[in-house]
Amino acid sequence: MNPLADELNSVLDGTIAGRLLSNLGRRFYFPKGIIAQSTEAKKSASRANGTIGMAYSRGNPLILSAIADNMATLKPGESVAYAPTAGVEKARQVWKDLMIRKNPSLNPAHMSLPVVVPGLTAGLSYTADMFLSKGGTILASDPCWDNYSLIAEIRRGAELVGIPFFGNPALPSFGESGGGLDLGEINRAIRNAAKTGTVRILFNFPNNPSGYSPTIAEEEALVNMIRETAEGGADVLVICDDAYFGLFYEDSISKESLFVRFADLHERILAVKVDGPIKEDYVWGLRMGFLTYGSRGLGAGHYEALEKKLMGAIRSSVSCTNTSAQYLMLKAMEDPRTPGEKKQYGEMLRGRYNAVKAFILSHPNHPVLKPLPFNSGYFMSFHCSGVDAETLRQELLVKHGIGTISLGGYYLRVAFSGIDEELITGVYQTIYDTAARLDEDE
């Protein structure tokens, strides 16, 4: 074990984070090499800085005219220079401030400064590297985003245990008359995992692929489950994949991230929030996200040790996150036009959601398609009975030019976020008609 890793482990030993670290997580450290030394030089090398492998002229990085012309608003240091491993400091602080503004119940004392990661997928992957060992288990919704399996099972050699979050599919709950989560099934899975002494669970709300977020009552039930698990003596890692945070369409939905509750809940709980502007701010290709830790049992020194281990994961994979993306997002976050445009885009998505909701409610009891609960985000999904979801997908694509996603043979996901509102009724009617015809042909 590297002495620097031993040093960080000694800081974390005896804490919830130290107990949850994977074998790889214990080996991570941030080397006192080129990056660390160049960071020191930036502060003190006032005459000449010969530390980092970049080419400068009169204090600015060299830049091609073609690049400069297309990034006219960014200075060379904001576009082609390397970013710090943990991200541009101002971007990290601005995102933390925004996080607190969007989640007013959040206790800043029980959270780290967000670290910039090259997309939310990378943030989830680094979290798995840190806290998921070969042979371990992690709980997630069934169905879930297919990349979770790649990250947990293929990369880490762990088992992704699916929980049927929504039970037997029926007409979706839109929040007016109750919730859509199978709380009993979720509780059973958590209690079963707690018998091993450690629970690792991933909450993705708004959920991909279902498009569901907990109601206020359901959130309270989930929090109580995790609290009771920690009080019972188990260590709990809660990963909050908040990729679609803020896209809530019903008044009954809790409007804050679950991270808010878990980060301040119990000393045996470590919460990890993976979020960013990718979906929230409609900048999918910028590949920039944030990773934040929170626990009642951790202090500033513990967060610093976790940050350095995470920096080791970043340094050993991509070195740092795209610089121009961070500065472009800083400009967007500080631009007075942004809140109004985000509200406009959010209302556009709400209109599409309402159109899908109206169609579903006016077409009950389809012989093949049973919609999962949905009330938020980009998607909704059908459970297919009697017809293979992939067969339906191919039929819709080849014969009708409608693109959908099949998952696991049983689920068909439709991203209404990508369908203009005036087209939704016709698209969904075609989906219903095609599924019914395929069922008749069986």
Contacts of 428 (CB under 8 A, 6+ apart): 356, 359, 360, 363, 414
Please classify residue 362 by burial: count the beta carbons closer than 10 Å to its beta carbon, then call 0-12 exposed, 13-18 middle and 19+ buried. exposed
- For residue 374, name the pLDDT band (cuts at 50, 70, 90): very high
SS3 readout for 243-287: CCCCCECCCCECCCCHHHHHCCCCCCEEEEEEECHHHHCCCHHHC
* 109, 263 contact by CB (below 8 A): no
Give residue 279's Cα distance to chain centre: 10
Query: Which segments of 363-419 does DSSP mark as H helices, in order?
Result: 389-400
Q: Which is it for the CA torsion 204, 421, 385, 435, positive or negative?
A: negative
pLDDT at 141: 96
Share above pLDDT 90 across residues of the chain, in percent, rounded to a whole number: 69
Greater model confidence, 224 or 75:
224
Contacts of 68 (CB under 8 A, 6+ apart): 76, 79
pLDDT at 278: 86
By three-state DSSP, how is residue 411 classified?
Answer: strand
- For residue 44, name the pLDDT band (cuts at 50, 70, 90): low
Identity of the residue numbered 422: E
Q: Please determine, for residue 224, whether its predicted confidence score (pLDDT) is greater than 70.
A: yes
Mean pLDDT of the 400-423 span: 90
Instruction: Read off the pLDDT of residues 172-187 as tens digits, 9 standing for 90 and up.
Output: 555 444 568 999 999 9
- For residue 285, name the pLDDT band (cuts at 50, 70, 90): confident
pTM of the model: 0.91
Report the relative pairing of strands 411-414 and 405-407 from DSSP bridges.
antiparallel
Q: Please determine, for residue 51, whether its predicted confidence score (pLDDT) is greater than 60.
A: no
Domain boundaries, the chain: 3-30+85-334, 32-70, 339-441
Question: In the predicted model, what is the mean pLDDT of the chain?
Answer: 90
Query: Which segments of 162-205 does DSSP mark as H helices, in order?
Result: 183-194
pLDDT at 67: 66
Identity of the residue numbered 327: Y
Mean pLDDT of the 206-228 span: 95
Identity of the residue numbered 232: G
Q: Please determine, for residue 48, whether its predicted confidence score (pLDDT) is greater than 60.
A: no
Fold of 3-30+85-334: Aspartate Aminotransferase; domain 2 (3.40.640)
Report the relative pairing of strands 411-414 and 380-384 from DSSP bridges.
antiparallel
Mean pLDDT of the 96-111 span: 94
Identity of the residue numbered 192: N
Ranges 57-71, 88-102, 189-203, 260-274: which has the least confidence: 57-71
* Residue 364 φ then ψ, to 5°: -80, 165
Ranges 3-12, 47-56, 109-118: which has the least confidence: 47-56
- Domain 339-441 belongs in CATH node 3.30.390.10: no
Q: Please determine, for residue 404, whether its predicted confidence score (pLDDT) is greater than 80.
A: yes
User: Cα 11–15–16 angle (5° rounding)?
Assistant: 135
